[in-house]
Structure 1
Amino acid sequence: GCAEGYARDATEIQNIQIADGDVCRGLPIPIHMVFPRLFTCPTLETTNFKVEFEVNIVVLLQDDHLITENFPLKLCRM
């Protein structure tokens, strides 16, 4: 961090819906996502600045109960 404090800004890069309806229990659902090259950069961290990414999984149940989980990502340019 720096003396001025922290600023955090989240931007949605991509949004996909993976399943809908009565999803079969115990069935693995693979998640594959290609990040658009023009809108993403590698993960970056310096003394006063960093760019980080995460995947947010949102599950909305039939009774409108919402479950969310965040997973950090490290993007590398190849």
Structure 2
Amino acid sequence: MQLVRVETCGCAEGYSRDATEIQNIQIADGNVCTKLQIPIYMIFPRLFTCPTLISKNFKIEFEVNLVVIFQDEYLVTENFQIILNRFT
């Protein structure tokens, strides 16, 4: 499982999008039992995350990518966009 920060800057000429992997956690390895529930906990690193920010010419967004690699090296990836909020 990967936490990715996506920064987008733009103007009339076009947009530039840069994705940076912030954290990578291995959840399971080997022959995982069928129908076994695996709890997933990811503590976001404070220095590399911030609340989601969307303005006219600049965006900071976050995604969680779930990556499954099978025994024959077949790779399946699913991306989930998340919104981070900071409450005081």
Query: TM-score scaled to structure 1, two decimals?
Result: 0.93
- Structure 2: 5+ residue runs without aligned partners? 1-9
RMSD in angstroms over aligned alpha carbons? 1.0
1:34-73: CA deviation from partner (whole Å, max 9, x where unpaired): 1111111110000111111000111000011100000001
State the Cα distance separating 1:28 from its structure 2 match: 1.7
Q: Which runs of 4+ in 1 moved over 4 A?
A: none
**SS at the partner of 2:68?**
strand
Residue of structure 1 equivalent to 2:80: 71
Write 1 or 2 for the structure with the bigger share of strand: 2
Percent of aligned pairs with the same residue?
A: 72
Are positions 1:33 and 2:42 aligned together? yes
Structure number with the bigger relative contact order (C-alpha 8 A, sep ≥ 6) is 2
Structure 1 residue runs of 5 or longer lacking an equivalent are: none
